[in-house]
């Protein structure tokens, strides 16, 4: 793997973005993971991109825990049950 | 052929209610509309349950939700483009410090997500928020897996660009754990 000159950005190499996404979200196989890891060893831009992507995915996972609020679910349930009872 | 482990409708659908509500929020972007959307989805799903083979219930329900959403759009001919500010006012005054920060942070990231074009937004919502597989998301959205990946990666890129503008993001990025 060649070394990439650090230009200070967190823009990934064009050919790496898909691979980095697959590794970050855990859908990459071992070969792809190895390739990404080897590439990142010599590429600070891809390393920064990967770090920010992982951080963002972590935040999105937390967003799942925050929704919904239980009151909304209870209201939906009550509305559904009222509608089905009326139909019966 | 009906799947041998097909549960009854109420058990299957109601266990997915929180997920359906979250996905509906991404489509409707308004709490009241999301509730209506999920209610309509449940009614439509209940009617179609007997003809459903019982496989991939989650994807099947999301597909119905998406179709109900499209139906609503056709009826209204438009949808709200922004989330109302009052939507973020659900935190009680008794909540303190980190809880407020956490809630505000989640609302912020969801607001940024909701500002993405729908195709990107739903790919990110299903794959990254709900953590569905590419395959299940593709089935739910009625698109090929390659299209899911493409929309997902482009959606992430767009969301990342938006989050870059956050002052607090810098620290999080600096401390992000890099591992595969």
User: Residue-wise pLDDT tens for chain B (180 aa)?
Assistant: 666 677 788 888 888 998 999 999 898 768 888 999 999 999 999 999 999 988 889 999 999 999 999 988 887 755 444 433 333 334 344 445 565 666 677 778 888 999 999 999 999 999 999 999 999 999 999 999 999 999 999 999 999 999 887 655 444 444 444 443
Size of chain A in residues:
88
- Residues of B within 8 A of A21 (CB-CB) are 149, 152-153, 156
pLDDT at B166: 67
Give the distance from residue B35's alpha carbon to the nearest chain A alpha carbon, in angstroms.
6
Parse chain A into domains and list their residue ranges.
Answer: 14-87
CA distances from B119 to B54, B147, B152 (A): 27, 10, 9
Are the beta carbons of B129 and A61 separated by less than 8 Å? yes
The Cα of A71 is separated from the nearest Cα of chain B by a number of Å equal to 11
Asked if A50 lies within 8 A of B178 by C-beta distance, the reply is: yes
Q: If pLDDT is split at 50, 70 and 90, which confidence band does A78 have?
A: confident
* Residue carrying structure tokens 């659900």: B90
B133 chain-A contacts, CB cut-off 8 A: 27
Residue A82 has pLDDT above 90, yes or no: no
Find out whether B53 and B1 touch, Cβ atoms under 8 Å: yes
Interface check B46 vs A, CB under 8 A: yes
Interchain CB distance below 8 Å, B39 and A76: yes
Q: How far is A24 from chain B (nearest CA, A)?
A: 7
In 3D, which of A7, A30, A59, A57 has the Cα closest to residue B153? A57
CA pair distance A73, B101, nearest whole angstrom: 24
Which of chain B's residues have a Cβ under 8 Å away from the Cβ of A83?
A: 39, 43
DSSP state of B4: T
CA torsion, points B34, B134, B152, B89, in degrees to nearest 10?
Answer: 30
Structure tokens at B82: 């922004």
Query: What is the number of CB-based contacts under 8 A between chain A and chain B?
Result: 111
Q: What are the structure tokens assigned to A53, written together?
A: 């992507």
Q: Give Cα separations from A37 to A11, A47, A78, B21 (angstroms).
A: 16, 9, 51, 38
Angstrom distance (rounded) from CA A22 to CA A5: 24
- Are residues A46 and A84 in contact, defined by beta-carbon separation less than 8 angstroms? no
Q: Which domains does chain B have, with CATH numbers?
A: 9-76 (1.10.1740.10), 96-175 (1.10.10.10)
């Amino acid at each position: 793997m060649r070394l990439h000159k650090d230009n200070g950005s967190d823009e990934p190499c064009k050919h790496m973005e898909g691979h980095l996404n697959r590794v970050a979200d855990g859908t990459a196989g071992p070969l792809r993971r190895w390739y990404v890891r080897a590439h990142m060893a010599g590429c600070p831009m891809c390393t920064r991109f990967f770090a920010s992507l992982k951080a963002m995915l972590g935040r999105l996972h937390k967003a799942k825990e925050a929704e919904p609020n239980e009151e909304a679910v209870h209201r939906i349930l009550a509305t559904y049950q009222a509608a089905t009872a009326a139909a019966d | 052929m009906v799947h041998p482990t097909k549960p009854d409708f109420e058990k299957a659908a109601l266990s997915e209610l929180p997920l359906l509500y979250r996905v509906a929020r991404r489509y409707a972007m308004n709490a009241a509309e999301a509730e209506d959307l999920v209610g309509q989805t449940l009614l439509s799903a209940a009617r179609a349950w007997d003809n459903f083979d019982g496989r991939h219930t989650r994807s099947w329900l999301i597909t119905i939700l998406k179709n109900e959403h499209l139906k609503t759009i056709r009826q209204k001919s438009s949808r709200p483009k922004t989330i109302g500010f009052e939507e973020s006012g659900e935190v009680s005054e008794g909540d303190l410090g980190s809880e407020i920060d956490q809630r505000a942070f989640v609302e912020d990231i969801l607001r940024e997500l909701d500002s993405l074009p729908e195709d990107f937004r739903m790919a990110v919502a299903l794959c990254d928020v709900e953590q569905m597989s590419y395959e299940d998301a593709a089935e739910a959205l009625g698109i090929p897996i390659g299209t899911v990946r493409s929309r997902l990666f482009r959606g992430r890129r767009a969301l990342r660009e938006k989050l870059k503008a956050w002052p607090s993001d810098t620290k999080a990025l600096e401390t992000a754990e890099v591992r595969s």
